[in-house]
Amino acid sequence: MAIKKSTVKNFYRALAASAYVAGATAAGAALGGPPGAAAAASAATAQLASPLGVAAVELAAETGTEYAVGSEKMAMGGIVTEPTFAMIGEAGPEMVIPLGGMISPLVKPKRKRSKSARAADKKLSRAFKEANSKLRKKNGDFKKGKTQADIAKMAHRLRKRMK
């Protein structure tokens, strides 16, 4: 049990640290593009190495481990009537089936898109590629005075002209 608990805790340590760095990177990218993302990732990594960062990751890992290791085990079966954190598959393959049937009434099966809809998707994709090449610089930035809205408008106009 101690080996299992330490393995689970190591998983949660890595998960918490990765999530923190990924979140900071995404925020940096949103605010400052690729240079901002790199700076944010570097700052986040440095913060994780600080005593406060280590303590925060350790707390998250401990909490996650207690939930995972102390979760309800379903190897012998059981009925769940409310949201439950459970251990599934711990004694081998298991099947989890909603009591309302094979497919939950809240989840509609995904319909296959028609041939014409797929063709329209390909045309729109090609139109966006062309619009991006016309309204962006080679480094990927927008040309002066252009926005993503301009690209979308041009792509839709180009798609209408395609046959």
Say how far apart CA 19 and CA 86 lie, in whole Å: 23
Say how far apart CA 41 and CA 32 lie, in whole Å: 12
Torsion of CA 24, 30, 32, 38, to 10 degrees: 40
Written as six digits, the tokens of 142 are: 């927008």
What pLDDT is attached to residue 70? 65
What pLDDT is attached to residue 142? 93
What pLDDT is attached to residue 127? 95
Written as six digits, the tokens of 91 are: 């004694």
Is 86 in contact with 73 (CB distance < 8 Å)?
A: yes
DSSP 37-68: HHHHHHHHHHHHHSHHHHHHHHHHHHHHHHHH
Please give the model's pTM, rounded to 2 decimal places. Answer: 0.40
pLDDT digits (tens), the chain, 163 positions? 566 677 777 887 888 888 888 888 888 888 888 888 888 888 888 888 888 888 888 888 887 777 676 666 677 777 777 777 677 777 788 887 777 655 556 666 778 889 999 999 999 999 999 999 999 999 999 999 999 999 999 999 999 998 7
